Structure 1
């Protein structure tokens, strides 16, 4: 969208620089990224950034006004975890980059989540790609790296000894996001621990390190709780629903509370109208809507063209929403003369003492197919995958 930056990047781009970017990330993290990196960042205007900021500020203000009893209804009975936090530590807000009827490029909310994403990886990626393409250094979004890491440490580690803080995941070495876990360990000095390795004694939790049991005081949770029951032969000593003496960063209940569940409650020019399926009005046309399960992750279960037969076949209709379709605009020119579409995730951290969350960075997903998700990029093309957005100064 910023022609001079796009032209400069495309002129400087080479396959060798793309490989160098991946090599540097691998060397810095100790492992390769388990997902496809796009060859290119995207470049966005000040006007678009202002629209993003306005949308995010409005959404946060509306979230803060949602009564706790409304949030409580979002949590399935079998997924309720004790000792909830007053607010989430993480907030990620996803916008499609679209064109409206007036021909303006605008953000359109796709979904939002109070669940951690690639905070460490995006900071590392921004630094690496700015090193490979030095002109990007003047466009960097995030705070200086030492300040960024300290902010991340304040939220995740707090006043604890890093030894007593863990990143919790199920079979972390098998996750596509393992590169982010490795960088989080490097930045914060904490260990990544598999849920199957957590030990429980009374109400206290432990993990083993070099033959010693180490008490766990804080959990940087990367486990999607409602997926646990779908993992065959999973054996654990610790059940999330138990009352244990740990601090959750962030509490698992927030995964449900801030999710597609609250989309029908939000209002803004950048928020497409959404309805719970049982509330879908007869005045709306189904062909203009996308069907989404409330708590799916990474685009799972999304139906881009639902029919009435599809709707009628759903048994738990209260667990689905219909969201007005938005149309991603092909804006991002590659070196083959083709255009990619993209969505941008705004990454916030929310300190407990702060009234509002702090924008840390962004994460971009680029595609040339209908589903803007890294997993759905099957086409043999360039300018697809995970990336970052830089804004006009």
Structure 2
């Protein structure tokens, strides 16, 4: 997005440097990474950075309001409500498309948000590896709020581990060894010592949970949760000692209920010039906008792009029997902005990553991630056969 920096980066780029970057990432992960890493980071000018941060703060103003929990109680499916919910989410991820306004300026447009952790470990490594193999301007950074790399790790450790012994804290997933994000689990263990444990390996005794830590039965006191209910539907015959909805003596870091509260369900509550118009489908009462081509339909309780209809027709809307579980969101036009070495341009999505320490009044911006795309949808699964696309990180002007 910064023309002079982009031109210099592309001039210095070589395929050999990129292959070395990927090789270093795979070496650190101990196994080949299963998603594509982009050939370039994203260089974000201060003008766009300020718009991103200010819009995020307006969103947080809504989330910290006294009535937020009451407004979002309907977001949690009754059969997926987990006991012992804490006062606020531990994580906040806010996704923006990078667009252009009528004046030709780069502007963000909110896509969605999650009260759920993202790739905090992998982004730490990815930014470091870009800096190792490519020249990144000194006045551009991937961290915020005065954090350096040591402070970044300490902030994560404070949030996830707290005052517990490291062996009493686990990262919870379902079959973590086969997840595409397992690289993040490995890096997280290297950074703060928390091991990934499969749901099927947890032992429940009364209200207490245990796992085998190198063969030693060890109590679980804190769970860094990376498991979502939606993933469990892929394993209908799964048998476990512990179900997420059990009332047990653990502290959730990333309580599962916040995954639902801060989600697509929350989108209609936000108003800002960089937030597209969004309403629950049932609010239309059968009278829909004439310009449906300017909207996208999203189910509330489906994730990773599943069930999203980009080219909406009236019959798509009238056929839905539970319109309260859908949102109709004004379509965002991604602007191809990042020039590649072949002269083409790719689209960019930026995720701002916050952590929220216990008893703090607001979450704090820690880092970011980016996704580059040539396809109609942004996710890495939709860009498998292209180059200069995939997972990336933003370096933002100080």
Bin of the TM-score, shorter chain as denominator length = over 0.9
Specify the alignment match of 1:70 in structure 2. Answer: 71
Specify the alignment match of 1:81 in structure 2. Answer: 82
Contact 2:346 2:389 in 1 (8 A): yes
1:314-325 matched pairs, under 5 angstroms? 314-325=320-331
Query: 296, 300, 307: which is aligned to 1:294?
Result: 300
Specify the alignment match of 1:357 in structure 2. Answer: 363
Specify the alignment match of 2:260 in structure 1. Answer: 256
Please report how far the alpha carbon of residue 4 of structure 1 lies from its aligned counterpart in structure 2 after TM superposition.
1.4
Moved more, 116-125 or 31-40: 31-40
Specify the alignment match of 1:228 in structure 2. Answer: 232
Distance change >3 Å, CA 137–CA 237, structure 1 → 2:
farther
Contact 2:64 2:362 in 1 (8 A): no
Specify the alignment match of 2:141 in structure 1. Answer: 140
Please report how far the alpha carbon of residue 224 of structure 1 lies from its aligned counterpart in structure 2 after TM superposition.
0.6
Please report how far the alpha carbon of residue 306 of structure 1 lies from its aligned counterpart in structure 2 after TM superposition.
1.3
Distance change >3 Å, CA 78–CA 226, structure 1 → 2:
farther
Secondary structure of the residue aligned to 2:75 is: coil
Contact 2:167 2:213 in 1 (8 A): no
Distance in 2 between the 1:86 and 1:290 partners? 32
Contact 1:18 1:39 in 2 (8 A): yes
Moved more, 275-284 or 141-150: 275-284
Q: Which runs of 5+ in 2 are unaligned?
A: none
Q: What CA deviation, in whole Å up to 9, does each residue of 1:268-312 have, x standing for no partner?
A: 011101011111373733221100111322212111011111112
Q: What CA deviation, in whole Å up to 9, does each residue of 1:303-351 have, x standing for no partner?
A: 1011111112222221110100010001100011110001100000110
Contact 1:348 1:358 in 2 (8 A): yes
Moved more, 164-173 or 286-295: 286-295
Specify the alignment match of 1:41 in structure 2. Answer: 41
Contact 2:127 2:393 in 1 (8 A): yes
Query: 297, 312, 316: which is aligned to 1:310?
Result: 316
Please report how far the alpha carbon of residue 103 of structure 1 lies from its aligned counterpart in structure 2 after TM superposition.
2.6
Distance change >3 Å, CA 45–CA 172, structure 1 → 2:
same
Q: What CA deviation, in whole Å up to 9, does each residue of 1:191-219 have, x standing for no partner?
A: 11000111000000001122221100000
Distance in 2 between the 1:115 and 1:247 partners? 15
Please report how far the alpha carbon of residue 29 of structure 1 lies from its aligned counterpart in structure 2 after TM superposition.
2.8
Specify the alignment match of 1:102 in structure 2. Answer: 103
Specify the alignment match of 2:119 in structure 1. Answer: 118
1:23-42 matched pairs, under 5 angstroms? 23-42=23-42
Does residue 1:131 correspond to 2:132, yes or no?
yes
Does residue 1:270 correspond to 2:271, yes or no?
no
Distance in 2 between the 1:201 and 1:137 partners? 53
Distance in 1 between the 2:26 and 2:122 partners? 11
Secondary structure of the residue aligned to 1:117 is: coil
Secondary structure of the residue aligned to 2:136 is: helix
Contact 1:220 1:248 in 2 (8 A): yes
Specify the alignment match of 2:11 in structure 1. Answer: 11
Distance in 2 between the 1:183 and 1:252 partners? 22
Count of residues in correspondence between the two structures: 392
Secondary structure of the residue aligned to 1:73 is: helix
Secondary structure of the residue aligned to 1:244 is: coil
* Aligned residues: CA RMSD: 1.4
If the length of structure 2 is used for normalisation, what is the TM-score? Answer: 0.95
Moved more, 223-232 or 73-82: 223-232
Distance in 2 between the 1:320 and 1:75 partners? 14
Specify the alignment match of 2:387 in structure 1. Answer: 382
Q: Which runs of 5+ in 1 are unaligned?
A: none
Secondary structure of the residue aligned to 2:358 is: coil
Please report how far the alpha carbon of residue 137 of structure 1 lies from its aligned counterpart in structure 2 after TM superposition.
5.0
Q: What CA deviation, in whole Å up to 9, does each residue of 1:67-99 have, x standing for no partner?
A: 322121110101100000100010000000011
Moved more, 66-75 or 266-275: 66-75
